[in-house]
Amino acid sequence: MRGKRLAGVALLTAVVVGCGGDGGSSNEMRRMTTGPGGGDGDAQNGGDGSLDDGGFDPLDVPDGSDTVFVDQRCRLGSAQNIATSGTLDVFGHITYFADGADLVAGTYRVVYEDGCMKYGGDQGWTVHAYAAPNDEYAWFVGATQGAKLVRAPGTAGHLVTDGAFADFDACVAANMELKPTAFRHQGGKLGVWLADTAYSDNVVGIDDRNPRWRLERVDCDADAGPR
């Protein structure tokens, strides 16, 4: 990470879970607490996440103050970085949830599922290199490369002394405790990408378990799916 300037994105592989399929009956609901979370395209100019930008409106939910129920059929799959130690350049692309399908406007949330990485070989296991509002070396949900519309939930700090972890499993466990990040989407594709530059000094997760997130539609019709 030394000497890097912000640019670039990360290629993630989308694992799609169909909505309206056989994920369970409409009565099968998953109870979760919401709160602030920790393919290529042109950069979206001026995208600051506001509704006026046609982007996102992050929900201002006090920590642990609300509970929502998400039917399994309202899940839109997971996205995980597929870079390996031999293909670090793969960190330089974007991939989309739901195979890049255009998603309708509504309330969504992104949930951490697994994985950590390092921004340098002599650093610790983490998800974001710096805590918000610093947006360098961090993961974002957005429609295109450069669209920092919602920061994905994840621990921050690239050194063990400032929030990173010496142990990979400890990093994953800490991130599993984070609450999802909820936001209102104005419609269109959603992907996850890494704001980084030179990828050659990054370190992939143990057994290639790089950061992975799940996308869910909060206000969908469980029987019809999130149209």
Convert the pLDDT of each residue in 45-81 to its tens digit.
223 332 233 334 445 443 333 445 678 778 899 998 8
Identify whether the C-beta of residue 35 lies closer than 8 Å to the C-beta of residue 64: yes
Asked if 65 and 35 touch (Cβ cutoff 8 Å), the reply is yes
Q: Are 205 and 211 a contacting pair, CB within 8 Å?
A: yes
d(CA 182, CA 111): 9
Segment among 6-20, 96-110, 116-130 with least mean pLDDT: 6-20
> 227 Cβ partners below 8 Å, 6+ apart?
104, 220, 221
pTM above 0.85, yes or no: no
> Where is pLDDT greater, at 208 or 39?
208
Nearest alpha-carbon partner for 199 in 58, 11, 50: 11
The average pLDDT across 204-208 equals 95
Mean pLDDT is lowest, of 5-19, 39-53, 118-132, 173-187, for 39-53
Residue 167 pLDDT > 90 = yes
Instruction: Select from 221, 224, 147, 139 the least CA-distant residue to 189.
Output: 147
Closest CA to 216 of 34, 11, 5: 34
Distance CA 132, CA 145 (A): 19
**Would you place residue 152 in the very low, low, confident or very high pLDDT band (cuts 50, 70, 90)?**
very high
Is residue 183 within 8 A of residue 37, CB to CB? The reply is no
Q: Centre a 10 Å sphere on the Cβ of residue 50 and count the other Cβ atoms it contains.
A: 14
Residue 202: what are its φ and ψ, rounded to 5°?
-75, 160
pLDDT of residue 37 exceeding 60: no
Select the more confidently predicted residue: 36 or 182. Answer: 182
Rounded-to-integer distance, Cα 191 and Cα 100, Å: 8
